[in-house]
Structure 1
Amino acid sequence: MGKPYKVRWKTTKGIEKVAWKVKYLDESGNLHQRQFLTKKEAVDFNAKSHIELKNGIHVPDRKTLSIKEMATVWLHECAIGPNGRMPLEPATISNYESEIRLHINPLIGELRLNKLDREKIKHFRAELLTSRSRPLAKRVLRTLSTMLNVALDKKLLAYNPAIGVTIKDDGRFSEELSIPSKHQVRELIEAAATYPKASKATDIRSYNRYYAIFLTLALSGIRISELRGLKWINVNFSKRTIKIQQRADNKANAIGPPKTKHARRTVQIPTKLVMCLRDWKMYCPDGDLVFPNWQGNIESYANIRNRGWLPICERAGLCTISYRVKNGKKKKHVETWFGIHSLRHFHASMLIASDASPLEIKKEMGHSSIDVTYQFYGHLFPEDDEKRAERSNSMCIEVFG
């Protein structure tokens, strides 16, 4: 690898220019050259490239991409299945796409991959933390690191500079789990039971399905995506069980496999829910799905939330109502005190209150590991100091008498 050398030339207007160039051969014997404004920049690049070439990790400019270009490549791979794996779910890809479009590309999208270093990643982290919420900044940084791992695998990057650059959580920033009380759930279900029936066009199926939907979520603990993809063949009235075999994707409104292999499970349900589902089946539109739309297709999450959850929470007094002016018109805004997913947390809290073990809760909720169970609900398990003290004494007596 040669030394940096000075070059001079004149522009068409006769103005003399000076720069410093570095020429070198890559591992394949191809000639590359870089030009710099100052001698220091040229010397620094020369030394850095020499070490990278020696270690076999140098990536020339013409063999790399910008972060924006790499993002396009990565999203395409996510859609077809990265490294021979199954394609990612449309909802996951949509989340990645929005994080890239709104937060990564505007800040560092034009930067080329081989120009990235740890300091630039730290600066990017600082920008995220000052302009975005902490949880969002953490997700975006994790997405960038995942994408850079793919670039590294394609040899478009010498190393992943985002590894080790993290955003840590502590007690000040951890969000408290929103779990409705038993009284609030009763109010919600009662409001759902008296919610206005279907429109005149569907009077023949006038049973209130939102009552059945929210009662199912509260008494089974299944995910809303699992409820939207639930089939009648997987509801066993005699055994009082619901078997989770599939789910409905939130973005594509398509049926797919459960969230993880552990999400495939059989959930025990109480008699009250069995009776509710029996009644609902008489009014349910024709088809395989337990809770389809009125045409028998997959019901969207947006419809369940906007047409059922929001008005029922308002009816039950479980929300805060405000009014905003938009385009000169006064518009009502309903902010519920907890979301639909909170019914799943409510179910878990009731299991814990009934002395279910952490392993039982993991299986019932379909968590991928018991660590996930403790991450969400560990603070709900009772701490029985007296029982632990008694156990400690018993162990001591058993050994020493």
Structure 2
Amino acid sequence: MWIEKNGPTYRIRDLIVGKKVTVKSGFITKTAAKNAMKVLEADQVRGDYVDPRAGRVALAEWIDLWWPSHQVKLKPTSIKSEGARIRNHIQPWLGEYALSELTPMIVKSWVAQLLAGDEEVERDPLSPKTIRNAHGLLYAILQEAVHQRLIKTNPCQRTGLPRVEHKEMRFLTEAEISRLVSAMSAHWRPLVVLLVATGMRWAEVAGLKVKHMDVLARTVRVEEALHELAAGQELVTTAPKTERSRRTVTYPRDVAELLVPLVSNRGRDAYVFLGPDGGAVRYRKFWRLYVRCAARAGLSGLRIHDLRHTHAAHLIAGGVPLTGVQRRLGHSSITVTSDLYGHLLPVVDENILTAVESSLSKIDFRGLVGETDGDQARSTSSNVA
């Protein structure tokens, strides 16, 4: 902050969101302006000061200032998804509001509008999960405005969100896996088989290169992920989803035999899986084919990601502990694995019961049945005596 002469009076100026603004004005003397500025600076040190003029910045304008520094921390896929949420779900509804005008009630109304949709402008209702993602992004945008002292509190706090209904995962049986693989053309069978046999994510399999494969040791090293951000655009290679996603995954001998022709006599940096045109595999083209083949196999609605869930279910059915499942799937923590697949472990309750029975086996509960408090007291006195 600084003091400026303004006609016959003095005013306090400050730089807010890159713009010079007048904080207070009309001081008769420079000393009076200095004393007022000291109070404001003390409020800044305590964190109590928020210039009401700063809140006049429109949300859309603030997003334009906030986004460049935010997106440098994101992967290309997150830049695409979060950018779409801002363009489609935040700016059209809230962009014209000044930051200071946004209140919890306005945010609640925005959530309700997203949930209901708008027929006049042909906006379909959004799912609770999509709304939660948009709300979380808006929270982050406005929280930075709080940190920058543009507003005092985040209006996204305690606004309430629609409940996300739990959807049962889909797991394929051995017979269903066989039908799906048989329905695929010979060109795509090795890719589908590897998805089921390893539980790898689609982008991890699409990004596999010859140098990542060891068909003799029957291992694959997950080091890269290949993403199609938009139809017709250049594919983007990124690091795996999390640091724990960098992993080595084994696979059966039969799978190795399917992969041998795909890696033999090829350069180390060549992609293992290619499209029919010889280029890298594109998700959208494969998805359209996959949907038709799954329907022919009697598996309509089957997602590619369901193959990953199927792999996890078969591991658990085979007695693999959750820690092993976590490492193989590349989850960031055991909590993620437990939340997703913990309900598939009915043997856990049986093991707990066995442990409890073992620890209590030396206690004669039958001798305690019907015993009154008085009996217990006399027994205790007798033992003491």
Which residue in the other structure is 2:29 paired with? none
Cα distance in 2, alignment partners of residues 55 and 363 from structure 1 = 44
Cα deviation for residue 159 of structure 1 reads: 2.4
Q: Residue in 1 aligned with 2:274?
A: 292
For the 8 Å contact 1:75–1:93, the answer to whether it is kept is no
Q: Is the 8 A contact 1:351 1:361 kept in 2?
A: yes
* Aligned with residue 189 of structure 2, among 187, 191, 211: 211
CA distance, structure 2, for counterparts of residue 362 and residue 290 of structure 1: 25
- The aligned counterpart of 1:136 is 130
84, 102, 107: which is aligned to 1:98? 84
Deviation at 1:185, TM superposition (A): 1.4
Deviations 1:348-380 (CA, angstroms, capped at 9, x unpaired) = 111011011010000000000111112211221
Give the residue type in structure 1 aligned to 2:66: W
CA distance in 2, matches of 1:384, 1:260: 28
Equivalent of 1:235 in 213, 219, 230 = 213
Q: Which residue of 2 aligns with 1:347?
A: 311
Distance 1:393 1:148, change over 3 A: same
Cα distance in 2 for partners of 1:63, 1:163 equals 18
Q: CA deviation at 1:266?
A: 0.8
Counterpart position of 2:260: 278
Structure 2 CA distance for partners of 1:60 and 1:115, relative to 1, 3 Å: same
> Can you list the C-alpha shifts for 1:210-251, whole angstroms capped at 9, x where unaligned?
111111101110000001111111111122111111111331
Q: Name the structure 1 match of 2:246.
A: 264
Alignment check: 8 A CA contact 2:102 2:155 kept:
yes
Q: Percent of pairs identical after alignment? A: 25
Quickly say closer, same or farther: Cα 1:129–1:295, change in 2 above 3 A. closer
Letter matched to residue 157 of structure 1: I
**In 2, are the aligned partners of 1:78 and 1:93 still within 8 Å (CA)?**
no
Letter in 2 for 1:119: M
Residue type of the alignment partner of 1:139: N
Q: 117-126 vs 350-359, which deviates more? A: 117-126
2:82, 2:137 within 8 Å by CA — same for their partners in 1? Answer: yes
Where in structure 2 are there 5+ consecutive unaligned residues? Answer: 1-10, 16-20, 26-39, 118-125, 366-385
Does the 8 Å contact 1:89/1:249 carry over to 2? no
Task: Give the corresponding residue for 1:18.
Answer: none
Q: How do 1:1-400 and structure 2 match up within 5 A?
A: 30-31=22-23, 56-61=48-53, 64-79=56-71, 81=72, 87-131=73-117, 132-167=126-161, 169=163, 173-192=165-184, 195=185, 208-251=186-229, 253-282=235-264, 287-293=269-275, 297-306=279-288, 308-319=289-300, 337-397=301-361
- Tell me, which stretches of 5 or more residues in structure 1 are unaligned? 1-23, 34-48, 82-86, 196-207, 320-336
Distance in 2 between residues matched to 1:366 and 1:286, nearest whole Å: 24
Counterpart CA distance in 1 for 2:127 and 2:51 is: 34
SS in 2 for 1:267: strand
Q: Secondary structure at the match of 1:209?
A: coil
Shift of 1:92: 1.0
Q: How many residues align?
A: 321
CA distance in 2, matches of 1:351, 1:109: 48
Structure 2 residue identity aligned to 1:312: C
* CA apart distance, 1:113: 1.1
Distance across 1 between alignment mates of 2:277 and 2:70: 32
Residue identity opposite 1:351 in structure 2: L
Q: 1:388 to 1:289 in 2, by over 3 A?
A: same
Deviation at 1:104, TM superposition (A): 1.3
Residues 90-140 of structure 1 show CA distances to partners (whole Å, capped at 9, x for unaligned) of: 221111122122211222111111222222222222323333322221111
State the AA in 2 paired with 1:272: D
Separation in 2, partners of 1:370, 1:346: 18
Separation in 2, partners of 1:116, 1:363: 44
Aligned pair in 2 of structure 1 residues 386, 215: CA closer, same or farther (>3 Å)? closer
Tell me which amino acid in the other structure corresponds to 1:106: P
Highest Rg: 1 or 2? 2
Shift of residue 284, structure 1, vs aligned partner: 7.5
Q: Is the 8 A contact 1:254 1:298 kept in 2?
A: no
The letter of the residue matching 1:90 is P
Structure 2 counterpart of 1:45: none
CA distance in 1, matches of 2:58, 2:274: 44
The answer to whether the Cα contact below 8 Å between 1:284 and 1:291 also exists between their aligned partners in 2 is: no
